Structures are given as C-alpha cells and as structure tokens.
Copies of this chain bind each other. A is one copy, B any other.
Amino acid sequence: MRLVLASGNPDKVREIKEILRDIEVLPLSSFVDEFEIEESGLTFRENAYIKVQKAFELTGLPSLADDTGLVVHGLHGMPGVFSSRFAGENAGYEANRRKLLEALRGMPLSARRAYFICVVAFMEKPGEVRFFEGKVEGFITKEPRGDGGFGYDPIFLYPPLGRTFAELSLREKNRVSHRYRALSRFREYLNESGLSR
C-alpha cells in the first residue's frame, strides 16, 4: 500500500515512517514543490482534516495527516493546537518549551500533569475521513532532560520509564508514544478493512 503523508515536518515524517515501516509512505513534498497548509483549526481533528484534505486534493491518492499537541492540565489544555507556535509563529522548539516552563512556574504538581495527543486523519475517497487518536500521559518537568526526540520531548516525563521522551531512543519512544498509539489504531483499521494489502 502507498500513502501520501501531509506533513512538512521532517521529525514527524521520520517517526511515522519508522512506525508504519511496511507501508510505503510518500511525503506530500515528493508530489508538489511547494505547499502551504494553514493549520487554522481550533481542534486537532479540524487541523488533521484540513491537512489530509489538501494532500488528497493535490495527489488523488490515499492520504494521511497527523495533528499533534501537548495538553497541559494547569494551563487548561494549552498549548494544545498551538503547541508548535506557543511562543509565536516561528519561535521554534526551545522558545516554546521555555514559555511553557515559565507559565507553570510556581504552580502545584497537579498543574504539571499533561498528555500528548496525536490525531491521525485518513482519507481514501473524497469526503470520507476517518480519525484515529492516541494519547500518552505524563508530567512536565522543571528542566529539560535528554537529547533525543523533538518539540516538548525533553520536558515530558513518561512515568512508567522515569525518563523524558528525549531520554528515550527513537525505537523506545515509538513503542509508547501518542503517535505510535494513533498509528496502531490506524493500522488495525487497515488490516480489518483489507486495505493494507
């Protein structure tokens, strides 16, 4: 099976290819030279929908999109859909992490409870979209730790392993992550519906 992936983020593409190993995943950038997808939605589903719709429209092939974010209890769900631009449109991973740590300063431990959520949207035929969600719970640390992963990984503590996501190898992260969980559900769907062949 071949799938078009509506993402321009190389970190995401790498993880998704590693998780969906036996499926041929073609980044949208291999079809079109430039594309701009405005992630203007206020929910993960809206954004995943916007992206998958665009990929399908541009290629006509079965398409996949992923919208991901970090939902922090003490910030009442933020940064959420703004995770990649919490500190501003082009602020980058480090500035986003800094803003998050700053916002949580002085708050009780319960405020640091958080989860990563990944919503995957799959479009096989025009207008038919299916969503698959994956979630992983943890805590926001006070300081970054580890060099792996990307985004908020260095400040996201995964309690069952006592390490941040940035302290896990790509392999390890891809066995427990929100993205892995969402894509596992997607793969189950492919198997059950016979689409994976």
CB pair B77–A42 under 8 Å, yes or no, is: no
Contact with A80, one of B44, B78, B103, B117 (Cβ below 8 angstroms): B78
A-to-B contact residues, CB < 8 Å: 42-45, 69, 71, 75-82, 86, 103, 117
Nearest Cβ on chain B to A91's Cβ, whole angstroms: 12
Nearest Cβ on chain B to A30's Cβ, whole angstroms: 31
CB pair A76–B42 under 8 Å, yes or no, is: no
Contact with A75, one of B43, B78, B86 (Cβ below 8 angstroms): B43
CB pair B44–A79 under 8 Å, yes or no, is: no
CB pair B42–A82 under 8 Å, yes or no, is: yes
A30 to B43, CA, bound (A): 38
CB pair A76–B86 under 8 Å, yes or no, is: no
CB pair B82–A76 under 8 Å, yes or no, is: no
A81 to B44, CA, bound (A): 16
Least CB separation from A86: chain B residue:
B42
CB pair A80–B79 under 8 Å, yes or no, is: no
Across-interface contacts of A43 in B (CB, < 8 A): 75-76, 78, 103
Across-interface contacts of A81 in B (CB, < 8 A): 76, 78
A75 to B45, CA, bound (A): 9
Not counting A77-B77, A80-B80, a sample of 6 additional A-B residue pairs whose C-beta atoms are within 8 angstroms of each other reads A42-B82, A42-B86, A43-B75, A76-B77, A76-B117, A77-B78
